[in-house]
């Protein structure tokens, strides 16, 4: 299990579509997930499970994080999703996305189920991570315990379901509800998720932007979660990939500045025999807190291949 994988862009791929699965292989995303939940009709779920097992075993995913989204635990499908996919392709799977998580018990159920399948199949214990989606009011209220549950690598915001859960009066994900003119109606949920993720040392991922042709809208909405500190965002269509990779990579000037801070800090502090806590970079005073901020930006840039 690796909680520091690059996840700037995470592509949603319906598990029922052979064509879209094939197309996904060639896209420059950091992560993809083969969906068994909302993108797949109830009668197509069984066939989609088998198609997903085939696609994972076939490979060709070029270092991307390989995930499957199973159905939520309030359906009759979840256990069979997990058993079929992990028994069939567990060695080729990095994480399971569990939607509509409203209590840490949901994550514990999946952790125990995975442990059993790993033992039965001789898979490496604990390697498959879990990414809970926070999609309703209960999930947000329980978020600290969810973030700290076993195998969690990232918390994912599910804005569409979340908006429905709190009766938000907007039908367009990311757009402000008409009548709410005092700020950003999404700020609380986003910042709550981000804080819980950082406290548990896991990643925070923003969900989808549904207006797939509106790349400016995507940039505006995704730019907000990127600025707050989120690690990545879902993409639904090839047209969204470049914008999201760019939004969640540091700007070149920020990356260069961060590397300069790290170099200057190390040079000054070691030149002083470890006795100096602050240093100068041009006119800027840098100290241990500046070093920490610089490490975040430089880490993201290095993960993005800068
Ligand atoms: C994604 O699953 C969402 O509900 O936005
Ligand atoms: Mg959802």
Report pLDDT for 2: 53
pLDDT of residue 93: 98
Q: Which residue's CA is minimally distant from atom 3 of ligand 1?
A: 158
- Spacing, Cα 62 to ligand 2 middle (Å): 27
Q: How far apart are CA 7 and CA 29, in angstroms?
A: 8
Pairing of strands 279-281, 284-286: antiparallel
Tokens (6 digits) for 272: 């002083």
**Best mutation site among 11, 137, 161, 174 for ligand 1, i.e. most ligand atoms within 8 A of its Cβ?**
161
Residue 74 DSSP one-character state:
T
Can you give the pLDDT at residue 1? 47
Residue-wise pLDDT tens digits, 98-153: 999 999 999 999 999 999 999 999 999 999 999 999 999 999 999 999 999 999 99
The ipTM estimated for the assembled molecules is 0.99
- Spell out which residues have Cβ within 5 A of ligand 2, the ion: 135, 158, 161
Predicted pLDDT at 289: 86
From CA 159, how far away is CA 174, in angstroms rounded?
Answer: 8
Q: How far apart are CA 92 and CA 57, in angstroms?
A: 6
Contacts of 253 (CB under 8 A, 6+ apart): none
Pocket of ligand 1 (CB under 6 A): 133, 135, 158-161, 207-208
Looking from the CA of residue 37, the nearest atom of ligand 1 is: 2
Residue numbers of the chain with a pLDDT score lower than 50 = 1
pTM reported for the whole predicted model? 0.92
**Residue 250, both tokens:** 């540091």
Which residue is closest in CA terms to ligand 1's atom 1? Answer: 158
Residue nearest to atom 2 of ligand 1 (CA): 158
Structure confidence at residue 3 (pLDDT): 54
């Amino acid at each position: 299990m690796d909680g520091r994988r690059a996840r700037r862009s995470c592509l949603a791929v319906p598990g029922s579509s052979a064509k879209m699965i094939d197309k996904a292989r060639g896209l420059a995303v950091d992560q993809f997930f083969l969906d068994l939940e909302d993108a797949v009709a109830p009668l197509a779920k069984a066939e989609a499970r088998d198609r997903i097992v085939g696609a994972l075993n076939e490979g060709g995913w070029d270092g991307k994080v390989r995930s499957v989204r199973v159905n939520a635990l309030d359906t009759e499908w979840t256990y069979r999703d997990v058993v079929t996919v992990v028994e069939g392709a567990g060695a080729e799977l990095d994480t399971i996305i569990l939607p509509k998580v409203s209590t840490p018990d949901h994550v514990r159920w999946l952790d125990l189920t995975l442990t059993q399948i790993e033992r039965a199949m001789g898979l490496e214990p604990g390697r498959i991570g879990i990414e809970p989606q926070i999609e309703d009011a209960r999930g947000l209220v329980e978020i600290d315990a969810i973030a700290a549950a076993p195998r969690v690598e990232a918390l994912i915001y599910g804005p569409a379901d979340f908006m429905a859960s709190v009766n938000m009066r907007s039908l367009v994900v990311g757009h402000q509800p008409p009548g709410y003119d005092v700020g950003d109606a999404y700020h609380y949920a986003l910042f709550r998720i981000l804080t819980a993720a950082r406290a548990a040392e896991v990643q925070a991922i923003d969900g989808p932007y549904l207006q797939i042709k509106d790349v400016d809208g995507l940039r505006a909405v995704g730019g907000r979660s990127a600025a707050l500190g989120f690690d990545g965002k879902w993409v639904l269509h090839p047209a969204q990939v470049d914008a999201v990779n760019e939004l969640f990579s540091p700007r070149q000037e920020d990356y260069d500045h961060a590397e300069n801070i790290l170099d200057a800090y190390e040079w000054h502090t070691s030149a002083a025999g470890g006795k100096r806590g602050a240093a100068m970079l041009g006119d800027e005073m840098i100290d241990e807190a500046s070093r920490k901020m610089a490490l975040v930006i430089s880490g993201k840039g290095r993960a993005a291949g800068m």
